[in-house]
Amino acid sequence: MCEKIPMSTQRTLRSVHLASTVWFVVCMGYILVLALRQAGFNWWFVFSLSGHSALIVFLLVSIYLFAIYRGIGGIQIIAKEHPLTSTNYYMAFYVAAPFLGGLAGCFGMIGASSASQFRLGVTLGTLGTTFLVWVVVDPATGMLETLGPASRRHRAERLARIAAERETKRRNRDRLLAKVFRKEEADRAHWEGLLKPQAEKLADLLATDRGNFKQAEQEAVSIGAHAWQIGGLGCMRQLRNMALTVSERKGEHQPIIDYISLWWDGIGTWRNPSM
């Protein structure tokens, strides 16, 4: 069973995760600056380095937060397959890991001899706890959850159900396509006899001389409009093909100019291919 996280809980988790990620980045920056200073670099070099890398850090954090937000807000959690990590308590623990690490560092550094030592302990506690929870504990917990008998059984049933639904959709789609094809075949067979006189007439119009060309065009337009009313564009295509076939047969292999496509341009959705 999939349980959607309530919107209020999603907003809370997002806010906590945003704040904890900012805190995590601040701690990383502090460690970086401290390491550079201890290596003997001057402050102007540290500020120059941080200025050039600020945009890259911002982009990486934005992409990371976007991925996490999608995970918290858009993914349905399968509780039967993940009985622990699907709970709100675990998610709260996950997103608040940097804060918990910083808090642990505060307690661990009680009685520190200097403020700098206290800050270093809080920072290391944040980084260590975050790495442990996000990189080690969470993946391991999720993997162990999927190894349970109930989790494996539910996953197998879910995958089988998805496969069955996909197969049902495929069959319905094939059935619909087959129905459409049968209808098209029936329409073509019906139009074959209905349009035969019109095809003969169009074939004669294609062979008209220049003196009667305007009148031939008017008659062809009337025939095309009637075909459009009968069966739309498909009916017009079939009538044109029939007329060209008749014209080729009557012309004894003489070259045939397809005036029909030109005459019918603008009737319904018919467009002259040469245009």
43/180 Cα distance (integer angstroms): 75
CA-based end-to-end distance of the chain: 57
Given this model, what pLDDT does residue 100 score? 93
pLDDT reported for residue 175 = 94
* 3-state secondary structure labels for all residues of 111-149: CCCCHHHHHHHHHHHHHHHHHHHHHHHHHHHHHHHHCCH
Output the CA angle 68-99-69, nearest 5 degrees.
10
**Could you tell me the pTM of the whole model?**
0.49
Residue 207 CA: distances (Å) to CA of 121, 213, 254, 265: 98, 9, 11, 19
Two tokens, residue 113: 């001899």
Confidence (pLDDT) at 176: 93
Question: Which pLDDT value is given to residue 173?
Answer: 93
Question: What per-residue confidence (pLDDT) applies to 64?
Answer: 56
Q: How far apart are CA 240 and CA 238, in angstroms?
A: 5
Domain boundaries, the chain: 2-147, 195-263
Which residues of the chain, if any, have pLDDT below 50? 1-2, 45-46, 49-52, 55, 66-67, 69-71, 73-76, 275
The pLDDT assigned to 163 comes to 92
pLDDT for 217: 87
